Amino acid sequence: MNAETPIPHRARRPAAPLAGTIAVPGDKSISHRALMFAGLAIGETRITGLLEGEDVLRTAAAMRALGAEVARLDDGAWLVAGPGLGALRSPDDVLDMGNSGTAARLLCGILASHDIFAVMTGDASLRRRPMRRVIEPLAATGAGFAARPGGRLPLAVTGAAEPLPLSYRLPVASAQVKSALLLAGLNARGVTEIEEPEPTRDHSENMLRHFGASIDIHTQGTGRLIRLRGQPELRAADIVVPGDPSSAAFPIVAALLIPGSRITIEGVGLNKLRTGLFATLREMGADITVINAREAAGEKVGDLIVAASALRGVDVPADRAPSMIDEYPILAIACAFARGPSRLRGLAELRVKESDRLAATTDMLRANGASVAIEGDDLVIVGGANRLGGGLVTTQMDHRLAMSALVLGLAADAPVTIDDARFIDTSFPGFIPLMRSLGADIAAEGAPA
């Protein structure tokens, strides 16, 4: 973040229901990948709907520093022209990936498989996050890594001049790790094989096919085996980035919780490895309808109509976590308003997100009167009993906590204040004005209502 001073905000229940039609910004995962894969392809790729959030702008800057041409056109589209696979150059300066774990981890795959030297850092949140999960498998390409103790940023990479293909079984379900290895495998001679014990978002696989790579995916037990033939001729191919389902989650839950609301969200990505939240909310009794289902650049898209609904508690199985890993803070808010207990299972990975989201979600709910407990790796919330709201939420450099807390304030009996709204821009620039356009009452603390 550039500005030094935190900007507190307050949300309270609006006088009228939420209503209207909106579109949410482009998908963050797909936007990072679009810039990276286009930068490795031959020719010029036009990207429309790119998320222009802080995280993705860091990836754009990094790709530029590695020798790709990346430009924003006046009509809002982005043009990327790469020097081609294998032809990236060492950046002149340290690559600063800001708040973005996806940018940092995926980029490690590109750096490891090019004959270059690079140093990478990030903000205080990113410098706390584990990088060993990519460093260890990527070292087998022949690349050298030096990082702070615990595998934390800053780290230095000496890429392999002739990277070896990888064969690796992921110990944790992580699309970031899988994608880092696929990116490394692109520039290796031979076949890279990755086994994932549970399916995770497959945007990298979809985009590789879109750019003409040869990739096979086989179902194997509960997971998948992915095989990528290295050194393909990646050809530029235009990309339309769908709206981010993880961003749509916030207006969706707000509309479900504020009585009488009815909103439409156009052009939301509906890749089934991303829509665990929608399935869960439906199990809770949510009225969410998909219309105009279609496909864009290898990804499913549709418009969502959401109407306020009386929700009941839910038991979410651990194997659903990869398809909704970023949605637990906002799901926890829905659970706090639902009738009866909810159990959200198998959330160990939440401890290593932009913040420790398991602890931070618990603190956010508790500070606002909800009944919540961590039991092992599960989050248990008993909804419907208490008056909610009135608390101050410390957002810990975490955009999703900030937005979740504001949605809590919109539905609660008393207003909710967050200490800092700046990090929302990492994934959802324009969140507050967009919510206000639907009728939400969110304002900077101290500003006239």
State the residues that interact with ligand S3P by CB under 6 A: 29, 102, 174-176, 179, 201, 325-326, 349
101 annotated to bind ligand: yes
Dihedral class, residue 74 (left if φ above 0, else alpha if ψ from -120 to 50, else beta): alpha
272 annotated to bind ligand: no
Tokens of 434: 């967009």
113 annotated to bind ligand: no
- DSSP annotation of 291: E
Smallest gap from Cβ 224 to ligand S3P, in A, equals 15
Measured distance CA(148)–CA(128) in Å, rounded: 10
229 annotated to bind ligand: no
State the CB neighbour count (10 A cutoff) for residue 134: 26
Which stretches of 24-161 are DSSP H helices? Answer: 28-40, 54-65, 101-112, 124-127, 132-139
| Nearer residue to ligand S3P within complex by CB, 159 or 322 | 322
174 annotated to bind ligand: yes
Q: Which residue is nearest to ligand S3P (CB)?
A: 29
Smallest gap from Cβ 223 to ligand S3P, in A, equals 14
Q: Which residue has the tokens 């769908």?
A: 242
The CA angle 281-286-292, to the nearest 5 degrees, is 95
| Nearer residue to ligand S3P within complex by CB, 169 or 189 | 169
| Nearer residue to ligand S3P within complex by CB, 211 or 328 | 328
Tokens of 57: 């702008």
Q: List, by residue number, the catalytic residues.
A: 326
Smallest gap from Cβ 322 to ligand S3P, in A, equals 7
Smallest gap from Cβ 215 to ligand S3P, in A, equals 16
Phi, psi of 228 (to 5 degrees): -120, 125
| Nearer residue to ligand S3P within complex by CB, 91 or 109 | 109
Q: Which residue has the tokens 């550039």?
A: 2
Smallest gap from Cβ 201 to ligand S3P, in A, equals 6
303 in Cβ contact with 291 (< 8 Å): yes
| Nearer residue to ligand S3P within complex by CB, 29 or 280 | 29
Quickly list DSSP for 381-407.
EEESSS--B--EE--TT-HHHHHHHHH
In sequence order, the β-bridge partners of residue 235 are 42
357 annotated to bind ligand: yes
Q: Residues annotated in the binding site, as ranges?
A: 28-29, 33, 101, 129, 174, 176, 326, 353, 357, 400
Q: Residues annotated in the binding site for phosphoenolpyruvate, as ranges?
A: 28, 101, 129, 176, 357, 400
Q: Residues annotated in the binding site for 3-phosphoshikimate, as ranges?
A: 28-29, 33, 174, 176, 326, 353
